Structure 1
Amino acid sequence: MFPWSLRSAARRLAAATRAAASAAVAARSPSPAPWQERPPAVEDREEHQQRAAVWDDDHRRPRRSDFSCATKASEDHSGLTRQLLDFQHDTVDETDGGYDPFSQLKERFTDFKQRNYVENFTNYQKLAEQQTPEFMVVACADSRVCPTSILGLQPGDAFTVRNVANLVPPYEHGASETTAALEFAVNSLQVPNVLVVGHSRCGGIQALMSMKSKKDDRSSRTFIRDWVSLGKSARLSTEAAAGNLSFESQCRHCEKESINSSLLNLLTYPWIEERVKEGNLNLHGGYYNFIDCTFEKWTLVYRPGLEGGSKYAIKNRSTWS
């Protein structure tokens, strides 16, 4: 049993296609030309249709017959729609008492609208015009670690991107959804803070620590392997500092070390380094332990002009419990 009917979905899709086509025609329809202001008589209808077929949106250029194209599109069930209509299976509709995974989401959305949106309507109207978030948050895609929930972030507070193991690639890695989000947040939104949030029992970090060397690993490449390999410097640091500990302890060490590695990678972006030097951007790390519900926070200090010693330091370290 499927929780919803593919046939029902196909019918709704076909109806939506026809509605969209009609709306598109209506949106492109020009204001009536003088000869269109009155309904044509029966004897004039053929001439009326011929003239309408070549009448342009701005009354100057011939146009395509949008109506005929839209009608054909709405009546011609092809591609996926045709496959769905032809698909035969014993299914149940959403309204037949079967399990609907969206029912709870619907209730939550309704509650959000009544308790949050309506009560903060003025703020949402301001957000509709502009967003000025205080934070850019890079967090893990893990379903147990939602930065909005654990940090109480509200709409407009943070521009967020989530990926496996909350990794920030170095600048030379090239384009990705994470680098694009960083560029927009820093250059366009000009956020004053970037926060990288890691967490306990991270599957991405476990995958990183479990990887064999390329020489020994004969398995095929995977997207996960290629992605978490970005944290190899954190793995090497962990093996050097905690190689004698249990695998679980090494993973926990690497979870925090990878956050610092990502903070250093942030400084490989010229526009991030520039804003940090100017004092207009601060880089922070955070570690959420959902086993005992604690949160560690620290700030990376960058001192490029320092002669001798490290250019980097950690300050303002604190634990929230």
Structure 2
Amino acid sequence: MQKLIQGIHEFQRSIFRPQRELFEKLASGQSPDTLFITCSDSRINPNLITQTAPGELFIIRNAGNIIPPHSPHVGGEAATIEYAVAVLKVKDIIICGHTHCGAMKAVVDPKGLEELPRVAAWLAHTEATRQIIREHYQHLEGHARITATVQENVLVQLEHLRTHPLVASRLAGGTLRLHGWVYKIETGEVFAFDPEQRQFVPVTEARLPAPPTPVSHFQSI
């Protein structure tokens, strides 16, 4: 705890004071362009990875960077997505997984979840990921299997994201883009899913998904 307190003092002295004008401006409101959804893992720092300043990312964090599909049940993720899209009008949503993810290890090998019933219930939102790995990645073992799980889970959660009405509406209107990323802890690399190549490639090489063509209405038939 003492380290955290010392960190606050250092922040106020070395960070806040030189950027006081920025923080005073932020006090009047926020206008981030991006909703960044990632894992709660302490090794992940979205602003550090993307070199963004306060006010530039709206962030959701939870175990496994999971987005439950749209349902009548109101959860924190759904409420945050709704606010980001409807009020903040973010232009991009990124779901970012990471290597060595404990949640994804539990998806592959659920032993031990008996003592963690709430974690097990939360990971039920990765059932499609588990099925994909079971049916298509039997040839992989160990770290390679976990990495495949991380990647497939990002894609599954993107599909869940598309079920949220406001997200679907903004995608159809061409005002929102979705991105799937994986952060490699041990090298600092970030990989993005390229829809044309149908695989994860270095983020600097991936083609940004083009916004859908706006549709105002369909002709009567």
Shorter-chain TM-score category? 0.7 to 0.9
Q: Which residue of 80, 93, 97 corresponds with 1:194?
A: 93
Q: Which residue of 170, 187, 191 corresponds with 1:292?
A: 187
Q: Does 1:267 align with 2:162?
A: yes
Shift of 1:160: 0.6
Q: Paired residue for 2:82? A: 183
How many residue pairs match? The answer is: 205
Q: Is the 8 A contact 2:191 2:200 kept in 1?
A: no
Shift of 1:122: 1.7
Larger Rg: 1 or 2? 1
Q: Is the 8 A contact 1:138 1:166 kept in 2?
A: yes
Q: Which one-letter code corresponds to 1:120 in the other structure?
A: Q
Higher mean alpha-carbon deviation, 229-238 vs 243-252, is at: 243-252
Shift of 1:147: 1.3
Per-residue CA shift, 1:234-253, capped at 9, x if unaligned? Answer: 12112222112214322110
Q: Paired residue for 2:216? A: none
Q: Does 1:132 align with 2:31?
A: yes
Q: Paired residue for 1:160? A: 59
Q: Which residue of 146, 171, 174 corresponds with 1:276?
A: 171
1:101-180 to 2 correspondences below 5 Å: 101=1, 103-172=2-71, 174-180=73-79
Summarize the Cα distance change of 1:157–1:315 in structure 2 as closer, same or farther, 3 Å threshold.
Answer: farther
Q: Which residue of 207, 226, 230 corresponds with 2:125?
A: 230
Summarize the Cα distance change of 1:118–1:241 in structure 2 as closer, same or farther, 3 Å threshold.
Answer: same
Q: Is the 8 A contact 1:139 1:161 kept in 2?
A: yes
Q: Which one-letter code corresponds to 1:170 in the other structure?
A: P
Aligned-partner Cα distance in 2 for 1:260–1:177: 21
Superposition RMSD in Å: 2.6
1:73-92 to 2 correspondences below 5 Å: none
Q: Secondary structure at the match of 1:149?
A: helix
Per-residue CA shift, 1:219-238, capped at 9, x if unaligned? Answer: 57701111112011112112
Summarize the Cα distance change of 1:300–1:273 in structure 2 as closer, same or farther, 3 Å threshold.
Answer: farther
Aligned-partner Cα distance in 2 for 1:232–1:316: 21
**TM-score when scaled to structure 1?**
0.59
Q: Which one-letter code corresponds to 2:202 in the other structure?
A: S
Shift of 1:202: 0.5
Q: Secondary structure at the match of 1:120?
A: helix
Gaps of 5+ in 1: 1-100, 302-312
Shift of 1:148: 2.1
Aligned-partner Cα distance in 1 for 2:99–2:22: 34
Gaps of 5+ in 2: 206-221
Q: Paired residue for 1:91? A: none
Q: Secondary structure at the match of 1:166?
A: coil
Q: Which residue of 88, 93, 104 corresponds with 1:205?
A: 104
Q: Paired residue for 2:146? A: 251
Q: Which one-letter code corresponds to 1:259 in the other structure?
A: V
**TM-score when scaled to structure 2?**
0.84
Aligned-partner Cα distance in 2 for 1:296–1:171: 27
User: Of Structure 1 and Structure 2, which has the larger fraction of its residues in helix?
Assistant: 1
Q: Give the structure, 1 or 2, with the largest relative contact order (CA under 8 Å, sep 6 or more).
A: 2
